[in-house]
Amino acid sequence: MKPFVYQRPSHVTQATTDGAAQDATFIAGGTNLLDLMKHDIETPLKLVDINHLELAQIEKLDSGELKIGALVSNSDLAAHPEVIAHYPVLSRALLAGASGQLRNKATTAGNLLQRTRCYYFYQIDSPCNKRNPGSGCPAIEGESRLLAILGVSDDCIAQHPSDMAVAMRALDAKVLTQLPDGSSRTLTLDELYRLPENTPNLETNLQSGELISHIILPPPVSGLHTYDKVRDRASYAFAVVSLAAVIDIDRDGNLTTVRLAFGGIGVMPWRNRAVEALLMSSKGEREAVIQAAELLLSDAKTTQKNAFKVPLTKRLVIQAIDRAISASKEAALSTSAQPAHLNLP
Amino acid sequence: MPNLTLTINGQAHHLDDLDPRTSLLDVCRQHLDLTGAKKGCDHGQCGACTMIVNGKRINSCLTLAIMHDGDEITTIEGIGAPDSLSELQQAFIDHDAFQCGYCTPGQICSATAMISEIEKHFPSHVSNDLTQPKISLEEISERMSGNLCRCSAYPNIINAIYQVLSTKGLTKTDSSNTVTSTTDSKPQIWSPLTSNAKPHQDSNISPCQLGAES
């Protein structure tokens, strides 16, 4: 690990000023950053420890939104009663990620900003356009089994590794940031993340010293919240493909809400609103679902080793819609007035 | 270089001019002669370094000591000693829950804090009900997945933890006092085959001998 200067600001304004220095990096949980520093993939000259900022609260706003401090741990967020009750897809996604130890340390904002686990990015003596711009991408012709098929470029096919961010994308989460000049701004996840194109080293649109202070969840969306994750072992593994879904169906069987966000297949947590619109004009008939899944995957750029993700993703979409339809029918039969479907796995 | 104070196993340690790169694991092993926590992978993948910081289990290899000024840290040395074993340590012996033992300090620190998480009703990936998880063998496997055992003593590790949870009454799921079956899993795309066997709380036969292993 390269030497660095350690700083521990106690106010946000101090943190953004410290963070704007050349080669300064914020550290919160550190579970990804320190790993990268041990590999000399990240080599900050200044490490700005933000753990002493007052950013570890979860607050329900009068607007119905949920304001989550950047430093709230993944464990605390997953177990928060408000999240379990009204955003269960987020609890499910968080619990599907990492291990108990890592979730206790990893933070909400840090999770959004974690970096790819592409083997070539991690292998310091290998070319990698993300780590060393212009050096090439051996992944495209190499071990690409776990890598992305949507949003990829000729320079990079690294997947975004987060589970949490996939659910956040489905929930239309926004990040609230603080800038060194004292201003703040709000970015959707679509605005936060960048496509790799020919600059895969630039992953977000955050500016120098810009600090994510909170994540804002819009008021809850009713419907069946599910998170399905296909991975190579039953626990503690990154997604091969994952799907965060919020689906609501009215009494006539119309799909009134369809939100589908995907992990494991995109360079960022992936969402395609045209696909959702197509499904919302249907009753989830199998042909409509297949058509929607094919639309989602029509832009997929696969390698020989990750082409299997196309049919796998399609099956996940079919399963999510079928399950929502079944749950809706069961709820209709049930005499209980309680919308129990909200909290089904 | 800043100075810091770490409270480890109830004892305050003052460190002057510590290199900020030093991990919490390395400060314990290299500077404080607390070698119970092990360095397995040094990248947060194996759990051998697990410590309990302010009541929560973390990977001590993936955090800097300097970030823990004033924190309360528990290592395996603070959990029990040869003449005063913790309940979990005794259960690990009773169930032969290790072979080489390298992962064991991390397993025990992790399981100690994991039991606290269960007491606080923390959900897991395999909990059907996120508000009231029913503690089964499957739940223990899931919750302990951050601790690898190269000797693959998993069935016995899980049995040892199950025994302690049973003693604490945490495996009882309803008024009938029956333990949760491992078949009580939520719908998934794929999951390991589960058994119909139900663990016997009062039997000498351990749950894993009944075929309900992790």
Beta-carbon contacts of B102 under 8 Å, excluding residues fewer than 6 positions away, are B38, B40, B48, B150
Nearest chain B alpha carbon to A98: B146
Asked whether residue B49 carries a pLDDT value surpassing 90, the answer given is yes
Q: Which tops the pLDDT comparison, A338 or A68?
A: A68
Nearest chain A alpha carbon to B19: A3
A343 contacts in chain B (CB < 8 Å):
129-131
Helix (H, G, I), strand (E, B) or coil at A154: coil
Indicate left, alpha or beta for A108 from its phi (over 0: left) and psi (-120 to 50: alpha).
Answer: alpha
Identify which of B194, B213, B114 has the alpha carbon closest to the alpha carbon of residue B154: B213
In the prediction, which pLDDT does B193 show?
Answer: 52
Backbone CA torsion sign across A322, A66, B132, A242: positive
Nearest chain B alpha carbon to A37: B21
- Rounded to whole angstroms, how far apart are CA atoms B9 and B78? 5
Beta-carbon contacts of B207 under 8 Å, excluding residues fewer than 6 positions away, are B137, B158, B159, B162, B197, B199, B200, B213
* Residues B19-34 pLDDT 10s: 999 999 999 999 999 9
| Mean pLDDT score across all residues of chain B | 86
Chain centroid to Cα B186, Å, comes to: 23
B49 contacts in chain A (CB < 8 Å):
none
Sketch the domain layout of chain B as residue ranges: 4-79, 87-210
Helix (H, G, I), strand (E, B) or coil at B64: strand
- Arithmetic mean of pLDDT, A38-55: 98
B19 contacts in chain A (CB < 8 Å):
3
**Smallest Cα distance from B201 to chain A, Å:** 26
| Mean pLDDT score across all residues of chain A | 96
For domain B4-79, the question of CATH label 3.10.20.30 is answered with: yes
Helix (H, G, I), strand (E, B) or coil at A188: strand
Indicate the pLDDT class of residue B205, thresholds 50, 70 and 90: very low
Cβ pairs bridging A and B (under 8 Å): 119
- Arithmetic mean of pLDDT, B191-199: 53
- Arithmetic mean of pLDDT, A141-168: 98
- Which residue range is the domain that position A250 belongs to? 224-333
Name the pairing type of β-strands B4-8 and B72-74. parallel
In the prediction, which pLDDT does B212 show?
Answer: 36
A73 neighbors A32 (Cβ within 8 angstroms): no
Number of domains chain A contains: 2
- Arithmetic mean of pLDDT, B129-139: 94
In the prediction, which pLDDT does B197 show?
Answer: 54
Q: How far apart are the first and last CA of chain B?
A: 47
B131 contacts in chain A (CB < 8 Å):
81, 84, 343
- Arithmetic mean of pLDDT, B74-80: 98
The answer to whether residue A86 sits within a structural domain is no
The answer to whether residue A277 sits within a structural domain is yes
- Rounded to whole angstroms, how far apart are CA atoms B173 and B176? 8
Q: Please indicate whether, in this complex, the C-beta atoms of B44 and A79 are within 8 angstroms of each other.
A: no
Residue with token string 């479907």: A341
In the prediction, which pLDDT does A55 show?
Answer: 98
Q: What stretches of chain A show up as alpha helix (H) in DSSP?
A: 12-19, 33-38, 74-79, 81-86, 88-95, 100-105, 108-113, 119-122, 164-170, 189-192, 273-280, 286-297, 309-333
In the prediction, which pLDDT does B191 show?
Answer: 45
Q: Please report, as a single letter, which amino acid is at residue A53.
A: L
Q: Which two tokens stand for residue B138?
A: 């499957």
Asked whether residue B154 carries a pLDDT value surpassing 90, the answer given is yes
The answer to whether residue A29 sits within a structural domain is yes
Q: Which two tokens stand for residue A69?
A: 């401090």
B108 neighbors B89 (Cβ within 8 angstroms): yes
- Rounded to whole angstroms, how far apart are CA atoms A38 and A33? 9
**For the domain that residue A16 is a member of, what is the CATH number?**
3.30.43
The answer to whether residue A43 sits within a structural domain is yes
Provide CATH code, domain B87-210.
1.10.150.120
- A78 contact B CB<8A: yes
Asked whether residue B112 carries a pLDDT value surpassing 70, the answer given is yes
Identify which of B141, B202, B143 has the alpha carbon closest to the alpha carbon of residue B167: B202
- Rounded to whole angstroms, how far apart are CA atoms B154 and B156? 5
- Highest averaged pLDDT of the listed ranges A178-182, A329-333, B206-210: A178-182
Q: Helix, strand, coil: what percent of chain B each, to 5?
A: 30, 15, 55
Cβ burial of B14 (10 Å; 0-12, 13-18, 19+) is exposed
Q: What stretches of chain B show up as alpha helix (H) in DSSP?
A: 24-26, 76-79, 87-94, 104-119, 137-143, 154-167
The answer to whether residue A30 sits within a structural domain is yes
Residue B8, beta-bridge partner list: B11, B73
Domain end marker among A16, A32, A49: A49
**For the domain that residue A269 is a member of, what is the CATH number?**
3.30.390.50
Asked whether residue B186 carries a pLDDT value surpassing 90, the answer given is no
Taking residue A324's Cβ as centre, other Cβ atoms within 10 Å add up to 25
Q: Please indicate whether, in this complex, the C-beta atoms of B59 and A235 are within 8 angstroms of each other.
A: no
- B59 contact A CB<8A: yes
Helix (H, G, I), strand (E, B) or coil at A229: strand
Where is A262: in which H helix or E strand? Answer: strand A255-263
- B44 contact A CB<8A: yes
Q: What is the largest CA-CA distance in chain B?
A: 59
- A235 contact B CB<8A: yes
Q: Please report, as a single letter, which amino acid is at residue A24.
A: A
Q: At A119, phi and psi to the nearest 5?
A: -55, -40
Q: Please indicate whether, in this complex, the C-beta atoms of B129 and A343 are within 8 angstroms of each other.
A: yes
* B84 DSSP assignment: B
- Arithmetic mean of pLDDT, A25-53: 98
Q: Which two tokens stand for residue B181?
A: 């079956």
- B50 contact A CB<8A: yes
- Rounded to whole angstroms, how far apart are CA atoms B114 and B168? 13
* Residues A239-291 pLDDT 10s: 999 999 999 999 999 999 999 999 999 999 999 999 999 999 999 999 999 99
**Smallest Cα distance from A212 to chain B, Å:** 20
B113 neighbors B56 (Cβ within 8 angstroms): yes
Q: Please report, as a single letter, which amino acid is at residue B152.
A: S
In the prediction, which pLDDT does B185 show?
Answer: 40
- Arithmetic mean of pLDDT, A296-320: 98
B88 neighbors B161 (Cβ within 8 angstroms): yes
Asked whether residue B130 carries a pLDDT value surpassing 70, the answer given is yes
Per this entry, what is the length of chain A?
A: 345
Q: Please indicate whether, in this complex, the C-beta atoms of B62 and A51 are within 8 angstroms of each other.
A: no
- B124 contact A CB<8A: yes
Identify which of B171, B168, B147 has the alpha carbon closest to the alpha carbon of residue B88: B168
**Percentage of chain A surpassing pLDDT 90?**
96
Q: What stretches of A96-163 show up as alpha helix (H) in DSSP?
A: 100-105, 108-113, 119-122
In the prediction, which pLDDT does A334 show?
Answer: 81
